[in-house]
């Protein structure tokens, strides 16, 4: 993997926007792609698909549990259904239906949650989703994807459509820093090393990938060379990349915009424990619900910025030396 340092972080479209655009492409290529939404199409960006393919856009009203099972029914009948809502509602309100109607029978349903994490800002905790990675990973047989930027979202939405089986994709509301240029390839289950380094590895997802890159630059000035890994697929997790990181660096930080109790971190820790145990630290939301505020303010207050990633790295590196 080509090492990229001196990263210039500039903002690109939101991952939900990339999802909406990718859906339209998929709709053009495959008549079996059907989209369901629960009165949030203007926010989930399925509105683009609705405009171009009104007959394949199914409006289901504010009724997410019903939508989950309708989606499963479409999948049973041979369609490739994408159901979309805010992550908080798609996953929480639809969870039992996803379990009984999609996971257990392994139907070809694609669930897309937008407005994930606390970076939605002003609407506050009732609309924020900080547990859905844990929930989605608890659905046996689900593929769980949390892309970081526009390019990876587009590619992974396409990969999800091509994959046969249930998938959950986590996207966000705010503009997302551009991580990848045009020629990067994305594969479900294959993590990407975005910054090379040997002293410590930062495994991140979503908006925290950019924060990890910024942290890596700060740390370089302190003589610590951090590897940054974009773990865009949380399940099935890339065990090899984690094992390598653990053996080669001997210290791992996991960073995510999610409750630390049930997200990427615990899954990475499991692999580390099973393959090459080493000190670890976790950056994420700590046993709380956030509040209203501007996205950047909240990311800062709840410990989800480069400063927090760098602090966790210093801590884990110190532990490594003990």
Partner 1 sequence: MPKSLAELATIARRIRREIVVMIGAAKSGHPGGSLSAVEILVELYFDYMRIDPQKPKWPDRDRFILSKGHAAPVLYAAMAEAGYADTPLDQLNTLRKLGSVYQGHPDVRFIPSLEASTGSLGEGLSLALGMGIAARLDGRPSRTYVMLGDGESQEGQVWEAAMAGAFHKLDNVVAIVDYNGIQLDGFVKDIMEIAPLADKWRSFGWHTLEIDGHDLAAIRKAFEEAEATKGRPTAIVAHTVKGKGVSFMENNPKFHGTAPTAAEVELALKELN
* 3-class SS shares of the chain: helix, strand, coil, % to 5: 45, 20, 35
From partner 1, ligand TPP, none, interface partner of 301 (C-beta below 5 to 8 A by class): partner 1
CA 139 → CA 88, 204, 251, distances in Å?
16, 22, 30
Query: Is the Cβ of residue 3 or residue 62 nearer to partner 1 in the bound state?
Result: 62
Q: Please, which residues bridge with residue 224 across strands? A: none
What whole-number distance in Å separates Cα of residue 167 and Cα of residue 291? 29
> According to the binding rule CB under 6 A, does residue 62 interact with ligand TPP?
yes
Reduced to 3 states, what is the DSSP secondary structure of residue 111?
strand
Quick note: the x/- pattern for partner 1 over 270-299, rule CB under 8 A, is ---------------------xxxx--xx-
CB atoms < 10 A from the CB of 76, how many? Answer: 15
Quick note: the x/- pattern for partner 1 over 96-135, rule CB under 8 A, is -------------------------xxxxxxx--------
Smallest distance from the beta carbon of 269 to partner 1, in angstroms?
30
Q: In this structure, what are the phi and psi dihedrals at residue 58, rounded to the nearest 5 degrees?
A: -110, 110
282 with 253: CB under 8 angstroms?
A: yes
From ligand TPP, partner 1, none, interface partner of 311 (C-beta below 5 to 8 A by class): none
Query: Is the Cβ of residue 92 or residue 275 nearer to partner 1 in the bound state?
Result: 92
Query: Is the Cβ of residue 70 or residue 201 nearer to partner 1 in the bound state?
Result: 70
Quick note: the x/- pattern for partner 1 over 180-219, rule CB under 8 A, is ----------------------------------------
Closest residue to ligand TPP: CB criterion? 39
From partner 1, ligand TPP, none, interface partner of 296 (C-beta below 5 to 8 A by class): none
37 with 19: CB under 8 angstroms?
A: no
Exposed, middle or buried: residue 165 (CB in 10 Å: 0-12, 13-18, 19+)?
A: middle
Asked if 8 is an active-site residue, the reply is no
What whole-number distance in Å separates Cα of residue 183 and Cα of residue 47? 28
Contacts (CB under 8 A) with partner 1, residues 60-79: 60-63, 65-66
280 with 269: CB under 8 angstroms?
A: yes
Contacts (CB under 6 A) with ligand TPP, residues 76-135: 89, 93
From partner 1, ligand TPP, none, interface partner of 122 (C-beta below 5 to 8 A by class): partner 1
Smallest distance from the beta carbon of 265 to partner 1, in angstroms?
26
Which residue has tokens 């897309």?
Answer: 112
* Residue from 82, 89, 95, 180 in contact with partner 1 (CB under 8 A): 89
Query: Is the Cβ of residue 5 or residue 59 nearer to ligand TPP in the bound state?
Result: 59
Structure-block tokens of residue 161? 């459509």
Question: Which one is catalytic: 17, 29, 52, 64?
Answer: 64
CA 311 → CA 84, 177, 314, 317, distances in Å?
36, 21, 5, 10
DSSP 55: G
Binding site for partner 1 (CB under 8 A): 37, 39-43, 47, 59-63, 65-66, 88-89, 92-93, 121-127, 291-294, 297-298, 301
Q: Which residues are known to be catalytic? A: 64
Contacts with ligand TPP by CB under 6 A lie at: 39-40, 62, 89, 93
């Amino acid at each position: 993997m080509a090492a990229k340092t001196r990263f210039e972080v500039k903002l690109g479209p939101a991952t939900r926007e990339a999802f909406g655009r990718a859906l339209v492409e998929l709709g053009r290529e495959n008549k079996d792609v059907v989209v369901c939404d629960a009165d949030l199409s203007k926010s989930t960006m399925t509105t683009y698909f609705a405009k171009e393919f009104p007959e394949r856009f199914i409006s289901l009203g504010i009724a997410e549990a019903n939508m989950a099972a309708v989606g499963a029914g479409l999948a049973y009948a041979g369609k490739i259904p994408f159901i979309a809502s805010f992550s908080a509602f798609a996953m929480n309100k639809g969870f039992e239906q996803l379990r009984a109607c999609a996971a257990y029978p392994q139907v070809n349903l694609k669930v897309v949650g937008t407005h994930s994490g606390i970076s939605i800002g002003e609407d506050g905790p009732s609309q924020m989703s900080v547990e859905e990675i844990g929930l989605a990973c608890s659905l046996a047989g689900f593929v769980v994807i949390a892309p970081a930027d526009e390019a990876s979202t587009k590619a992974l939405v396409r990969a999800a459509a091509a994959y046969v089986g249930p998938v959950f994709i986590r996207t966000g509301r705010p503009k997302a820093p551009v991580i990848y240029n045009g020629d990067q390839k994305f594969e479900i289950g294959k993590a990407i090393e975005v910054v090379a380094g040997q002293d410590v590895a930062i495994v991140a997802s979503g908006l925290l990938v950019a924060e990890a890159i910024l942290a890596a630059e700060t740390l370089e000035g302190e003589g610590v060379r951090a590897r940054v890994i974009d773990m865009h697929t949380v399940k099935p997790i890339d065990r090899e990349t984690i094992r390598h990181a653990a053996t080669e660096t001997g210290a791992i930080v996991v960073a995510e915009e999610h409750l630390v109790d049930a997200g990427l971190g615990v899954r990475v820790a499991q692999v580390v424990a099973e393959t090459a145990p080493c000190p670890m630290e976790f950056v994420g939301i700590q046993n709380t619900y956030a509040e209203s505020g501007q996205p950047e303010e909240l990311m800062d207050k709840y410990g989800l910025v480069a400063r927090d990633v760098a602090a966790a790295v210093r801590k884990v590196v110190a532990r490594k030396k003990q």
